[in-house]
Chains A and B, each alone.
Chain A
Amino acid sequence: MIISGSTLLGIVIANSFSKRVKELFDIKTFLTVFETSMSDIGMHTEDILQSTRQYMKTGIKQIISNIYSDMQTEYPDLLEKSWEEQIIKNRGKLSLTDQDIDTFISIGKFLGNTGLENQKKHIQHMIGVIDKQMEHAVTQRDKNKKIALNFGVLGGLMITLMLM
């Protein structure tokens, strides 16, 4: 039981490194789809928020859904405000670092509030930032995932041996 529990803990820790990569990838996907929907299809921000949800698989999907719901209320607030509120509210459910969260929040500060060319520039800049953070996240994942898994199994074994 001790070995299983410890291994499970190792798996959970290891998965959080993978989860961060997936969440960052979802944010990047959102930005890419947003750019295409905005410039090529000419969709409104709230329609883009609704349609991009299908491309996501992590907790980012829930945040985007909540922001979309906020925009459907009788008197919707600015996207920027709802964006920040929802990220802060759901922060605990994400594996993103503080730096990732800051990047994610900063997306809401420009989304939809400038002309097309500026939107594209902002999006491309943010994609660049996220790419860098993803590189770091992948390195961290590769480095720490094995350690966490091994540590889980070995830790369990050690505790069991000590108790014996």
Chain B
Amino acid sequence: MTLVTQHDKYYFATLKIFPEKIRALTDELSPEQWQDVNEIRLRAGSRIMVCVKGIYRYLDEYIGKRDTTPFIVCQQDLKTIVELATRNSVYMHLEDIKKGFITIREGIRIGICGRPVIKNNEISNIHEISSLNVRISREYIGCALPLMKYIVDNTGNISNTLVISPPMCGKTTILRDICRLLSDGYSPGPIPEGVNVGLVDERSEIASCKNGVPQRNVGKKTDIYDDCPKVLGMNMIIRCMSPAVIITDELGNDEDEKAVMNVLNAGVKIITSSHGYTISDMNSKKSIVNLMNNKVFSKYIVLCNEKGPGTLKEVTDGAGINKIR
């Protein structure tokens, strides 16, 4: 095991959003301890919890502060975190807040829970924030390389692929690396020079663009629609950037089906993902069932958390019957 001696960029991006007293506590995490943290959960009136390799623990215990009075999060702390995370510009992130999350620099996503403000049967804001979930998504360069043989055949033909995975199993991380490999090319492989990739990054989680520059490595031939609704982004990117393949995250809405069909009619390939544990889980999602019935996808890649995030569970062909792996 390699000794980690420095904190990564995600650590510093996370510290920036914390008020001083929480930062002081988080600052005691050693680089090695930090590497194993996937989530930081803050609930009003409770101690801070961290998810370490899938197991939830109190932060003060994890850093070895058992003898001192535990730090209890108050609601003002949560409000401060949201304000700092939005760089004192809550108005810029209200559309995301309505959906229950915000994505900050380095692709760190903060889930927000509280009392929603309802207007015309729709959530218009969340006030009285009760808990936050800071999800730290890391970049693992090369993690998708073993999957590329299923996605790109020997002649360089890219398969329309659906990556299926439960939450916290590396779905976005795998998609990001697939994007990089297709864009930059990889050798030995059928596309050493790479192809033009259109990335529709609805939640800014894949490329984490800042001032138009992706903060994650998504490849040199990738054009990105950042923070843009999938349906709009997919339709626009076909017309304006003529990509060979479009990559987007978390398919599932009814409108997504039409957008995917538009992509295919334009002769562009699609690689996307959806929440689920198995292929049969997709049966509950009408739009995906329709796409499956139309044999849109040639490959289904199912991920699990058995040996850590990104574990390949199975690869199935377009019919969803023949297991390739």
Contact = CB atoms under 8 A, between A and B. Distances in A.
Q: Interface on chain A toward B: helix, strand, loop, or mixed SS?
A: loop
A119 interface: yes
Nearest to A38: B91
Contacts of A159: none
B14 to A, nearest CB: 11
B103 to A, nearest CB: 14
A71 B125 CA distance: 25
A80 to B, nearest CB: 8
B23 A114 contact: no
Chain A's interface size range is 10 to 19
B90 interface: yes
A112 B83 contact: yes
Contact of B125 (A45, A74, A79, A115): A115
Given A38-B91, A44-B92, A75 B23 contact: yes
Given A115-B94, A115-B125, A116-B94, A78 B89 contact: no
B16 interface: yes
A130 to B, nearest CB: 21
Contact of A42 (B80, B83, B92): B92
Q: Which of A76, A111, A113 has the most CB of B within 10 A?
A: A113
A85 interface: no
Nearest to B79: A113
A71 B16 CA distance: 11
Q: Which of A46, A75, A78, A111 has the most CB of B within 10 A?
A: A75
Interface in A36-83: 38, 42, 44-46, 71, 74-76, 78-79
Contact of A112 (B20, B23, B89): B89
A49 to B, nearest CB: 9
B257 to A, nearest CB: 31
A116 B15 CA distance: 27
A131 B83 CA distance: 29
Contact of B90 (A42, A46, A74, A115): A115
Contact of A115 (B16, B20, B23, B91): B91
A42 B89 CA distance: 10
B80 A78 contact: yes
Contacts of B15: 75
Nearest to A119: B91
Given A45-B87, A112-B88, A116-B94, 20 more contacts: A38-B91, A44-B88, A44-B92, A45-B89, A46-B88, A71-B88, A75-B15, A75-B16, A75-B23, A76-B16, A76-B84, A78-B88, A112-B90, A112-B91, A113-B83, A114-B90, A114-B91, A115-B94, A115-B124, A119-B91
Question: Lowest 10 CB-CB distances: which A-B pairs, in order?
Answer: A112-B88, A79-B88, A115-B94, A44-B89, A116-B91, A45-B88, A45-B89, A112-B89, A119-B91, A113-B90
17 contacts: A38-B91, A42-B92, A44-B92, A45-B87, A45-B88, A46-B87, A71-B87, A75-B15, A76-B16, A78-B80, A78-B84, A78-B88, A79-B88, A112-B83, A112-B86, A112-B88, A116-B91
